[in-house]
Amino acid sequence: MLNFLGMPIQASTHANDVDSLIVIVHWLMFVLFIGWGAFFLFVLFRFRKAANPTASYTGAKGHISKYLEIGIVVIEGVLLVFYAIPAWATRVRDFPDKTKAVGVRVVGEQFAWNVHYPGPDGKFGRTDIKLIAADNPLGLDRTDPDAKDDITAINQLTVPIDEPILVHLSSKDVIHSFGVYELRVKQDAVPGLEIPVWFIPNKAGTYEITCSQLCGLGHYRMRGFVNVKTKAEYEQFIADEEKALAK
């Protein structure tokens, strides 16, 4: 049912909910398109000049159009109340338990995605705008005890499969948008705000992070990758990074 829309693969647990809504809306729009199109053709024929030399001053008297419009409003209301709002609520209200989710900070900048893992202690180290430099794009303060084991990466977000991932999203300069189509995730990154966004990836692979807000001249090349790995591979990745840090 989805193929005709050319949707990307579904790589997160909530992807199907998003797609069902998109499909239902497309079907509704298809029915409306056919209905209104047929009505338009009917009107062109029914009220043609040859059959109606004098204009009607009263207009249509039937109630069918009124009932049809009420019907459409009801269907749209059902879509909103029973599909769209519940699907959205699970994204913005039912956040996973912080202690169980894999927490990671993602900070957008012109034109890259900076990734910040808290390391084995689970605590993000202090960051300071004064410490931002070419080799420290996050401004991480390595003298802070919480920062000692923190891992940073640029444009590569590695996460384990089948676990809730809680991304704390922010930006250093302008508004960016963290869009990963295969995960059906899209959230603006706004300077001065830390916006949480979560998902459970359920298909291993590499998916592109496309900045989805026009953010400047280099917007087109602001791309990163989400690497969804098995739990063992993810743990190996963290261990390797920790080893490299200790050197």
Binding site for Cu ion (CB under 5 A): 176, 211, 215, 222
Residue 117, token pair as written in the block: 């893992």
Q: Considering the complex, what minimum distance in angstroms separates the CB of residue 183 from Cu ion?
A: 18
**Nearer to Cu ion among residue 140 and residue 211 (C-beta):** 211
| Smallest gap from residue 175 Cβ to Cu ion (A) | 8
Q: Which is nearer to Cu ion, 104 or 211 (CB)?
A: 211
Kindly state the smallest distance separating residue 226's Cβ from Cu ion, in Å. 16
What is the spatial distance between Cα 179 and Cα 188, in angstroms, rounded to a whole number?
8
Query: Of 95 and 181, which has the nearer Cβ to Cu ion?
Result: 181
> Is residue 215 within 8 Å of 176, Cβ to Cβ?
yes
Kindly tell me which of 153 and 215 has the beta carbon lying closer to Cu ion: 215
CA distance 247 to 232: 23
**Helix, strand or coil for residue 205?**
strand
Length of the chain: 247
Which residues have a Cβ under 8 Å from the Cβ of 138 and sit 6 or more positions away? 105, 107, 114, 116, 127, 132, 152
Q: How far is the CB of 170 from Cu ion (least distance, A)?
A: 13
